[in-house]
Amino acid sequence: MADESKQRPAAPEQMQVPVDESHIVAHYANFCRVTGTPEELIVDFGLNKQVGGTSPETIQLTQRIIVNFFTAKRLAYALGMAVQRHEQAFGTLETDVQKRVVHPQAKA
């Protein structure tokens, strides 16, 4: 039997990149909009104050992140893995608000 470590190429190790968080500013967003160009993606974030989808109110966008498609793909993978871990620990996340909201007539 051949040594398996010699048959498979080693997976590339992920390098830890040093980061400086001393000037970081955190913002909460429950709304995002993705647009883009052939070269980059533009992701706008804001706060949707509407409860239950009543009358349309203007959503104030407060942050814009612009990334190239390589960074967008890495971000999509990282977010997907984070959501997968969260769902494994806490259960499936329902993204349809109407399915999450308990309607008063449903309680009876």
Please check whether residue 40 lies inside any domain of the structure.
yes
Please check whether residue 13 lies inside any domain of the structure.
no
Rounded CA separation 61/32 (Å): 8
What is the domain count for the chain? Answer: 1
CA-atom Rg of the chain in angstroms: 21
Rounded CA separation 71/89 (Å): 27
Domain span at residue 42?
Answer: 27-101
Render pLDDT for 30-72 as a digit per residue (tens, 0 to 9). Answer: 999 999 999 999 999 999 888 666 667 889 999 999 999 999 9
Q: Residue 100 has what pLDDT? A: 79
Residue 77 has pLDDT above 90, yes or no: yes
Strand order in the sheet with 40-47: 31-36, 40-47, 60-68
Pairing relationship of beta strands 31-36 and 60-68 according to DSSP bridges: unpaired
